[in-house]
A and B are shown apart, each in its own frame.
Chain A
Amino acid sequence: MTQHISPERIQEIKAARQVLKTYKYSPAAVDKGYTNKTLYINISDNTIAEKEITEEIKDKFIGGKGFGLWYLWNAVNKDTKWNDPENEIVISPGPIGGITQYPGAGKSLVVSLSPTTDSVVDSNVGGHFGPLLKFSGWDVLELQGKSEEEIIIYINGNEGAISIEKAPLEELNSHILAEELTALYADDEEDKRNISVVSSGAAAEHAMIGLLNFSFYDKRRGGQRLKQAGRGGIGTVFRHKKVKAIVIKYKGVRGDSNHPADLKKIQELGVKLHKEIHDYDDIQTRKRQVGTANLVEIMNDYDLLPVNNFKYGYNPETWRISSDILKTYVTQNVPDGCWYGCSLACAKACDNFELKTGPYKGHKVLVDGAEYETVAGVGSCCGIFDMDYVFECNFYCDTYGLDTISWGTTVAFLMECYENDIINKDITGGLELVFGNRDAAMELLHQVAKGEGFGKYAGLGVKKLKKRFVAEYGADKDFLEAIGMECKGMEYSQYMSKESLAQQGGYALTNKGPQHDEAWVIFTDMVNNLIPTFEDKAEALHYFPMFRTWFGLQGLCKLPWNDIEPADNKQTDEPAKVPEHVQNYVELYNSVTGKNIDKEELIRQSERVYNFQRVFALKLGFGTREFDKPPYRSLGPATKEEYFSRQDRYDQQLKEKMGIDPEGKSVEEKIALHRQYREQQFEELTDAVYKRRGWTKSGVPTIEHLQALGMDYPEVIELVKPYQ
């Protein structure tokens, strides 16, 4: 059962609405993936305006997060903070976004200044909003300002009508809000599929790690699906601006709505990939069966699954949260995509999940997920191996508007602090936050949503909590810096990197923070041992971040790149790159835009935006080497219990890698030796990566590199000049 909204409730909501501004426009036609128009809305003074997107901006920034970075760059100055009205939330799907022939083409990219990192952040999300935005005439939605009252923004892409309305009565939490607004704006049941809602939830008002939900209507389940722009706290920005929701309605999505240059070629590429998925998904990653959760047991087998705040990589109880167990929760038993035409269909869901706690206790709800990151984050990382808990926590995080990755890593950090007597029951309000205590963890989540008790602080995220615990409780700063799994203010996503130097860089030597969507090279490095030298690792940490950045420029999902592989991929020179699929993307881009790039230009497109984002961070006071420093636990064993758990491995490494006999040394001495060695390795890796990326030793792009990329805007050069 989903939340069914009564006609009386809809009338009540409508009656309380007050239109603050209306705007009529002629929806621009989509041509080769672009409308060439940006919709600018300022909710401080209710300005609504159109901007032209020039050919130069398209060439340099492509779309998606490239556009988001460009508009935000122009909107803020070096002193702008996340909660200033000048900060924006920019949403853009990218030129390929919205096609229906090739899997994984419904992504939106969201860019803003982050409450957790205080720098610029981007987050990608499925759901229908981005494509519907484009087909409504807009490549970009640029939202600036701060409203005095709760508002909703409504865009009707068929009528060319936009309104900003006071919205006092709508529910705040997304699972109800999305149902209410879809019911309110749909002409009938069939029309619900033409509506998408962007919203957050109650917890985003009391936390820095708030997320945005992007909805789409699931006709089969008769309810709203919610996909998340989770990273970086953009939901917190959204709620701070007092936006309850942005609603878009567009009827008429067709196979040629993106008006590509060569539809026939796109169809050919799509058919080829659909066939691969049909033939091989069941024997490869089983995305159609279990989504991304197939990784849970695999990561556990390779000692890579975060357990107890990333202390360990394995736990024998992991089977309780494995994909086989998850499969028993997933209902409807059919592949399930988040945009039309995606046959990889990883978007799993559970209907009629009965909640056991919180304000909706006893309700039977639709839970979207659970994905790998959520299972690992709120599950194993917190020492909780209970799938019922995972689904309940997944549901509440989504509807309350909290990022499950950051929430899981934060709760795990709190649990370790509790077990080390840094915090106690007096501080937590009686919650016994030990690893594995699901009841305490769930209660804490509800407290965050209410802004009560210890929940007033728990959602601050790891970086701010570390400072608080040092300042208020006299905690050992060095210890917290070592175990607090954040870098740049963003909590780590859910992979252990201790035994992969390249992945340590893949997490820390990033633009936005330790989110694996830049580079995930653990197997290539740790298991395959294919990139043994610093230069090899640096090459991987150049290529993969650039390649994966490209998905965020286009509105594409990463999964169809390498979670399905052609039969002969094994016999190619570089199987980890999936060369045939790279070529698919080159041809896909050319077929949409009518341009003629090759795989080298594909990387250069990303390099332009990637380097611009690095300089953007510099503009805001970040973006230099000191901000790329990871917590020690991501490099090696930080505590005695970690060392003892893998003593044979660590002792052997002392002998073989460092030439030190561990015999007779205390565990404290051995931990210190490891730390000295591993931190030195990381510094050498950093040098190599910066060099490969065309950056100085302080981590700033060189002027020559920016000139070669054509990103030598005067303001950019002024920023980097002092670091040359």
Chain B
Amino acid sequence: MIQLNNRRETYDEGMTVSSLIKKKRYTHPMLIVRVNGQFIEEEMYAETPINDGDDVKIIHPIAGG
């Protein structure tokens, strides 16, 4: 399991930031990603692995519709 936004989320073998975003259908274009507290640039999503037990934050910095 991993923690995603302080909730339990199933870990998948070979998971990356990109694959997690795709799995969660997070299609909003303005995301803030941190893995174990470290900020991840958008161009690094595909190359950044997520390991079992990681603490991931994928924040949508939006407060207005």
Residues of A within 8 A of B (CB): 283-286, 295, 297-298, 301-302, 372, 493, 495, 516, 519-524, 527-530, 532, 540, 544, 548, 558, 561-563, 565, 569-571, 575-578
Contact indicator B63/A577 (Cβ below 8 Å): yes
Contact indicator A523/B60 (Cβ below 8 Å): yes
Given A529-B5, A529-B6, A571-B39: A520 and B63 interface contact (C-beta under 8 Å): yes
Contact indicator B30/A297 (Cβ below 8 Å): no
**A501 nearest CB across to chain B (Å):** 15
Residues of B within 8 A of A (CB): 5-7, 25-30, 32, 39, 57, 59-65
Contact indicator A563/B64 (Cβ below 8 Å): yes
Contact indicator A523/B27 (Cβ below 8 Å): no
30 contacts between A and B (CB under 8 A): A285-B29, A298-B28, A302-B25, A302-B28, A493-B65, A495-B65, A516-B65, A520-B63, A520-B64, A520-B65, A521-B63, A522-B65, A524-B60, A524-B63, A527-B26, A527-B60, A528-B5, A528-B60, A530-B59, A540-B63, A544-B63, A548-B64, A561-B64, A562-B64, A565-B61, A569-B61, A570-B39, A570-B61, A575-B32, A578-B61
Closest to B5 in A: A529
Contact indicator A523/B32 (Cβ below 8 Å): no
Chain A residues with CB below 8 A from B32, complex form? 570, 575
Selected from A283, A295, A571, A576, the residue in CB contact (under 8 A) with B63 is A576
**B44 nearest CB across to chain A (Å):** 13
Selected from B6, B39, B63, the residue in CB contact (under 8 A) with A523 is B63
Closest to A529 in B: B5
Chain A residues with CB below 8 A from B26, complex form? 301, 527
Selected from A285, A295, A548, the residue in CB contact (under 8 A) with B30 is A285
CA separation between A576 and B30, bound complex, in Å? 11
Taking A523-B60, A544-B64 as given, write out 16 further A-B residue pairs in contact, using a Cβ cutoff of 8 Å, ordered by the A residue number: A295-B65, A298-B27, A301-B25, A495-B65, A516-B64, A520-B64, A520-B65, A523-B28, A524-B62, A527-B26, A562-B63, A565-B61, A569-B61, A570-B32, A575-B61, A576-B62
Chain A residues with CB below 8 A from B39, complex form? 570-571
Closest to B39 in A: A571
**A612 nearest CB across to chain B (Å):** 23
CA separation between A562 and B61, bound complex, in Å? 9
Contact indicator B61/A576 (Cβ below 8 Å): yes
**B45 nearest CB across to chain A (Å):** 13
Contact indicator B6/A532 (Cβ below 8 Å): yes
**B1 nearest CB across to chain A (Å):** 14
**B32 nearest CB across to chain A (Å):** 4
Most chain B CB within 10 A, of A302, A528, A577, is at A528
CA separation between A285 and B27, bound complex, in Å? 11
Most chain A CB within 10 A, of B5, B6, B59, B62, is at B62
Chain B residues with CB below 8 A from A523, complex form? 28, 60, 62-63
Chain B residues with CB below 8 A from A565, complex form? 30, 61
CA separation between A286 and B30, bound complex, in Å? 11
Chain B residues with CB below 8 A from A522, complex form? 65
CA separation between A630 and B55, bound complex, in Å? 36
CA separation between A570 and B5, bound complex, in Å? 16
CA separation between A578 and B61, bound complex, in Å? 8
CA separation between A676 and B16, bound complex, in Å? 39
Chain B residues with CB below 8 A from A578, complex form? 61
Chain B residues with CB below 8 A from A520, complex form? 62-65
Contact indicator A558/B63 (Cβ below 8 Å): no
Contact indicator B61/A283 (Cβ below 8 Å): no
Chain B residues with CB below 8 A from A493, complex form? 65
CA separation between A223 and B14, bound complex, in Å? 56
Chain A residues with CB below 8 A from B29, complex form? 283-286
CA separation between A548 and B65, bound complex, in Å? 11
Chain B residues with CB below 8 A from A298, complex form? 27-28
**A264 nearest CB across to chain B (Å):** 29
Chain A residues with CB below 8 A from B25, complex form? 301-302
**A569 nearest CB across to chain B (Å):** 6
CA separation between A529 and B6, bound complex, in Å? 7
Chain A residues with CB below 8 A from B6, complex form? 529, 532
Closest to B32 in A: A570
CA separation between A173 and B32, bound complex, in Å? 47
Given A529-B5, A532-B6: A297 and B27 interface contact (C-beta under 8 Å): yes
Contact indicator B27/A562 (Cβ below 8 Å): no
CA separation between A520 and B29, bound complex, in Å? 17
Chain B residues with CB below 8 A from A544, complex form? 63-64
Chain A residues with CB below 8 A from B62, complex form? 520, 523-524, 562, 576
CA separation between A286 and B27, bound complex, in Å? 14
CA separation between A519 and B29, bound complex, in Å? 21
**B21 nearest CB across to chain A (Å):** 11
Closest to B27 in A: A301
Closest to A562 in B: B64
**B19 nearest CB across to chain A (Å):** 16
**B50 nearest CB across to chain A (Å):** 17
Contact indicator A284/B27 (Cβ below 8 Å): no
Contact indicator A558/B64 (Cβ below 8 Å): yes
**B15 nearest CB across to chain A (Å):** 19
CA separation between A548 and B63, bound complex, in Å? 10
CA separation between A532 and B7, bound complex, in Å? 11
Which 10 residue pairs across A and B have the least CB separation, nearest first? A575-B61, A523-B60, A520-B65, A576-B63, A529-B5, A570-B32, A301-B27, A301-B25, A516-B65, A562-B64
CA separation between A654 and B35, bound complex, in Å? 30
CA separation between A575 and B61, bound complex, in Å? 5
CA separation between A575 and B60, bound complex, in Å? 9
Contact indicator B59/A575 (Cβ below 8 Å): yes
CA separation between A436 and B21, bound complex, in Å? 32
Closest to B6 in A: A529
CA separation between A524 and B5, bound complex, in Å? 10
Closest to B65 in A: A520
Most chain B CB within 10 A, of A372, A540, A575, is at A575
Chain A residues with CB below 8 A from B28, complex form? 298, 302, 523
Chain B residues with CB below 8 A from A575, complex form? 32, 59, 61
CA separation between A457 and B65, bound complex, in Å? 31
Closest to B62 in A: A523
Closest to A544 in B: B63
Contact indicator B5/A527 (Cβ below 8 Å): yes
**A364 nearest CB across to chain B (Å):** 32
**B20 nearest CB across to chain A (Å):** 13
**B63 nearest CB across to chain A (Å):** 4
Chain B residues with CB below 8 A from A577, complex form? 63
Closest to A540 in B: B63
Chain B residues with CB below 8 A from A563, complex form? 64
**A306 nearest CB across to chain B (Å):** 12
